[in-house]
Structure 1
Amino acid sequence: MLHKVDDIRLALDGMITPEQRQKMNIILQHYDGLEKCKSNLESLILSLSEPYAKERTLVFAVPGIKNPFSAIAIISEIGVDMSVFPTAKHLCSWAGVTPQNNESAGKKHSVRISRAGVYIKPLLVQCANAVVKSDKHPEIKGRYLSIKKRRGHKRAIIAIARMLLTAIYHILKKGEPYNPELYKKAEPIPASREITVEQAILIARRHGYSVVKD
């Protein structure tokens, strides 16, 4: 650290010519202009999101989402009406945080992550990376460490991103604030996904199971 301080002092030791001062003033004015444009743009975004202030506040409370603009970005991607997704799994699949499970005869061929959700997925990954570094949410960090030990950091982060999006799904669907247990809740299977006993037997046989009658 002392070496860096000495370097800074050495860099400041000298004379600034009038030309250099003018260049620095131009650069400073340009920087101030960019900051003003950024502030104006942020104000515009906040005003446009005001009709969704309730949903924005709910999503903002989710671990890993550190500013309202992240919440706005998520809402702008998935909307606030979760009825368009039958379950949280459908939303996660659309967002690209669900592994592709190409399995046949009990053999798994690929666990690659799908390429959907090119905008929301990087944001969710960023939020996931932020939350696993904190000890404020042990229910998330514990799961991350457990998956990381078996599957590595990248897949563990995708799993955490999926957990966060699942929590957001339930929050927006039910209008409830974040609950550490929210993403663990089991979802009822929609009627459209119910199958008959005969269909279940057929699926079991396709996966190599022998069906034994009692």
Structure 2
Amino acid sequence: MKHYAGFDVSVKETSVCIVDERGKICVERKVVSHPEDLVALLNDPQWRLERVGLEAGPLSQWLFEGLAKARLPVICIETRHTKAFLQAQPNKSDRNDARGIAQMMRVNLFRPVHVKTLASQKRRALMTARMLLKGKAIAIENDIRGLLRNFGLKVGIVGAVKFEERIYELIEGMPELAEILGSLLVARRKLREEFAKLDRKVRDAAGSDPVCQRLMTVPGVGPIVALAYTSTIDVPARFRNSRAVGAVLGLTPVLNQSGESRRIGRISLCGDAMLRQLLYEAAQVLLTRVAKWSWLKAWAMNVAKRRGAKKAVVALARRLAVILHRIWSDGSEFRWTRNSSTATA
């Protein structure tokens, strides 16, 4: 008889439910959230496991890798789809969620999620740490500006390099204020130094990767966008076509249709927020800073004339996602004119 398992994972413990092909519960147990403990439970000879369901979450990649190495038929399932299925249950608990996921596996009613490779996970961690340090440094700079405004001191427009010099210039002759802001400036300086280290690592990683080098032939796409794209997409073959990437990244409009009513709303904003933001910034750079003309910029300018600049940037970001996937898939480079002999993107 076939068996199906469902996991409801928390930080300390995981609720496990195993059901047979008729839906009868065979075992329910709480296990330490560690791959070895879960494998020890599932490797019992009495279980003929057909599918093991694991909801996507903070620990899912680690647990998925451990279960996959033990050659268990583990599947990582989509969170929103799982939530909608489990809402049919009147009472929510870890035990009931594990039961629900096990039943989803039994009736084959789930949506699988791609689990990234270890290399992409490391690159993603590097990108996240870089962005985190940058955000904290900017937050401290904004707080310093706010504190100085209380005393009628305005920092004005100044770059990151000369920010500290400008602050000391404003608080000259104010020893008490200098002592307070000095601590913030030291923390800000340390954050900027560590950010610069990670930024160099990102640029070095993108510069040494052949795929990133080809992606950077697209105007507006630099090493940050290229590395974020490869670490997020991970395996380009998992998309049936390049156009599907825009929808996965939340860059396609939401359709609400019922009867004779058909309403197209804003973009869905689902998927990876970091990559979506970086593609949006790349689209802005292409429209406003890239001087060299290309068919892609001409297309975006025509969209801006018809629909406005904001919608043009979103449309260009979606098209950049599609073009980058095509370049990655067919091994080509970006062509600046449609009549170029270079492979199309």
* TM-score normalised by L of structure 1: 0.64
Identify the residue that residue 267 of structure 2 maps to in structure 1: 113
The answer to whether the Cα contact below 8 Å between 2:225 and 2:275 also exists between their aligned partners in 1 is: no
The answer to whether the Cα contact below 8 Å between 1:135 and 1:141 also exists between their aligned partners in 2 is: no
Identify the residue that residue 303 of structure 2 maps to in structure 1: 147
Q: Tell me if 1:163 matches 2:316.
A: no
Structure 2 CA distance, aligned partners of 1:125 and 1:27? 31
1:60 CA drift (Å): 2.1
Counting only pairs closer than 5 Å after superposition, residues 59-208 of structure 1 correspond to structure 2 as 59-66=215-222, 68-79=223-234, 81-102=235-256, 108-117=262-271, 118-133=273-288, 134-180=290-336, 181=338
Residues 53 and 41 of structure 1: is their aligned pair in 2 closer, same or farther, counting only changes over 3 Å?
same
The answer to whether the Cα contact below 8 Å between 2:255 and 2:264 also exists between their aligned partners in 1 is: yes
Identify the residue that residue 194 of structure 2 maps to in structure 1: 37
Counting only pairs closer than 5 Å after superposition, residues 3-18 of structure 1 correspond to structure 2 as 16=173
* TM-score normalised by L of structure 2: 0.42
1:48-103 CA distances to partner (integer Å, 9 max, x unpaired)?
x479711121222221124x122111211112x31111111111111122223456
Structure 2 CA distance, aligned partners of 1:129 and 1:115? 18
**2:229 maps to amino acid:** I
Shifted more, 33-42 versus 105-114: the winner is 105-114
1:137 CA drift (Å): 3.0
Mark the runs of 5 or more structure 1 residues left unpaired by the alignment: 5-10, 187-214
The answer to whether the Cα contact below 8 Å between 1:129 and 1:157 also exists between their aligned partners in 2 is: yes
Q: CA RMSD of the aligned region, Å?
A: 3.6
Among residues 209, 212, 231, which one is paired with 1:53 in the alignment?
209
1:149 CA drift (Å): 2.2
Identify the residue that residue 193 of structure 1 maps to in structure 2: none
Q: Percent identity?
A: 24
Structure 2 CA distance, aligned partners of 1:14 and 1:36? 23
The answer to whether the Cα contact below 8 Å between 1:100 and 1:110 also exists between their aligned partners in 2 is: yes
1:16 CA drift (Å): 3.0
The answer to whether the Cα contact below 8 Å between 2:250 and 2:276 also exists between their aligned partners in 1 is: yes
Structure 1 CA distance, aligned partners of 2:258 and 2:187? 59
Between Structure 1 and Structure 2, how many residues are aligned?
173
The answer to whether the Cα contact below 8 Å between 2:207 and 2:213 also exists between their aligned partners in 1 is: no
The answer to whether the Cα contact below 8 Å between 1:125 and 1:157 also exists between their aligned partners in 2 is: yes
Residues 168 and 90 of structure 1: is their aligned pair in 2 closer, same or farther, counting only changes over 3 Å?
same
Structure 2 CA distance, aligned partners of 1:51 and 1:15? 43
Aligned partner of residue 266 in structure 2, secondary structure: coil
Aligned partner of residue 298 in structure 2, secondary structure: helix
The answer to whether the Cα contact below 8 Å between 1:97 and 1:113 also exists between their aligned partners in 2 is: yes
Structure 1 CA distance, aligned partners of 2:318 and 2:170? 53
Structure 2 CA distance, aligned partners of 1:93 and 1:14? 50
Query: RCO greater where, 1 or 2, for CA within 8 Å and sep 6 or more?
Result: 1
Residues 64 and 106 of structure 1: is their aligned pair in 2 closer, same or farther, counting only changes over 3 Å?
farther
